[in-house]
């Protein structure tokens, strides 16, 4: 049995066609059922539905053999203990800094609001900018508006939410997409099954 960890939402929706090409279709729809472990049309594969930020943890500790996670989550987790064999090129967006449209360019010591604490620290350190990182779990756009932070680091897709709140994207930190990650022990113990699945994913991606 192979267990694949994936999160609800955009990543799950965009991963479904890729999984289907490998013959993996959930028997139950996570939108309508409350099960966290989903059986699939393949007897040897099941899905576990968890928070996006928990995917690398489940895979690292062997609770899942494989996982589908955004590169932003993997960077923040520190996924050196995982294999990352495939960029699935789904759920694409950009990790960026953003600030009020009338704010001056970033310089000196600044305060930054983000849920990507480690990634933001690395980025500003690489720029030689002293940054005090304030961890928030949501509504990042509020931080510059109420004086909590000079800027934010967050994912940007269309930029409409930023614009609606008087903010604008500034510096691109990284282009983000979802990756397939594999537990290192599972890669050895279940090599044939995982290698076969990787080959199917690679073939599907090559045809897109």
Answer whether 205's CB lies under 8 Å from 89's CB. yes
- At 84-101, the pLDDT tens digits run 999 999 999 999 999 999
Q: What was the pLDDT predicted at 68?
A: 98
Look at the block and give the residue holding tokens 């899905």. 47
Closest to 173 in 3D by CA, of 73, 94, 106: 94
Q: What was the pLDDT predicted at 106?
A: 75
Q: What was the pLDDT predicted at 104?
A: 84
Question: What string of DSSP letters covers 79-144?
Answer: -TTEEEEEE---S-EEEEEEEETTPPPP-SSEEEEES-HHHHHHHHHHTT--EEEEE-SS-TTHHH
Domains of the chain from N-terminus onward: 2-91+177-207 (3.40.190.10), 93-175 (3.40.190.10)
Q: Which residues face 132 on adjacent strands? A: 111
Report, as an integer, the average pLDDT of 114-141: 95
Tokens of 169: 């994207």
- Residue 32 pLDDT level (bands cut at 50, 70, 90): confident
Helix (H, G, I), strand (E, B) or coil at 197: helix
Report, as an integer, the average pLDDT of 144-149: 96
- At 151-207, the pLDDT tens digits run 999 999 999 999 999 999 999 999 999 999 999 999 999 999 999 999 999 999 998
- Residue 30 pLDDT level (bands cut at 50, 70, 90): confident
Cα dihedral 47/16/90/99 (nearest 10): -80
- Residue 105 pLDDT level (bands cut at 50, 70, 90): confident
- At 43-74, the pLDDT tens digits run 999 999 999 999 999 999 999 999 999 999 99
Q: What was the pLDDT predicted at 117?
A: 97
Question: Rounded CA gap, 177 and 69, in Å?
Answer: 8
């Amino acid at each position: 049995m192979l267990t694949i960890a994936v999160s609800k939402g955009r990543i799950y929706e965009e991963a479904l066609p890729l999984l289907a090409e490998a013959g993996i279709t959930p028997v139950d729809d996570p939108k309508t059922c409350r099960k966290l472990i989903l059986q699939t049309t393949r007897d040897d594969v099941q899905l576990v539905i968890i928070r996006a930020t928990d995917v690398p943890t489940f895979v690292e500790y062997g609770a899942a053999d494989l996982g589908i996670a955004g590169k932003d989550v993997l960077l923040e987790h520190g996924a050196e203990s995982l294999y990352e064999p495939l960029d699935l090129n789904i759920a694409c967006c950009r990790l960026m800094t953003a600030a009020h449209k009338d704010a001056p360019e970033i310089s000196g010591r600044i305060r930054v609001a983000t849920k990507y604490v480690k990634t933001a620290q690395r980025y500003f350190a690489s720029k030689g900018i002293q940054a005090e990182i304030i961890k928030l779990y949501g509504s990042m756009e509020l931080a510059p508006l109420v004086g909590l932070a000079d800027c934010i680091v967050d994912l940007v897709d269309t930029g409409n939410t930023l614009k609606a709140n008087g903010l604008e994207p500034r510096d691109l930190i990284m282009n983000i997409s979802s990756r397939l990650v594999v537990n290192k022990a599972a890669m050895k113990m279940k090599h044939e099954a995982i290698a076969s699945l990787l080959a199917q994913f690679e073939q599907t991606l090559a045809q897109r």
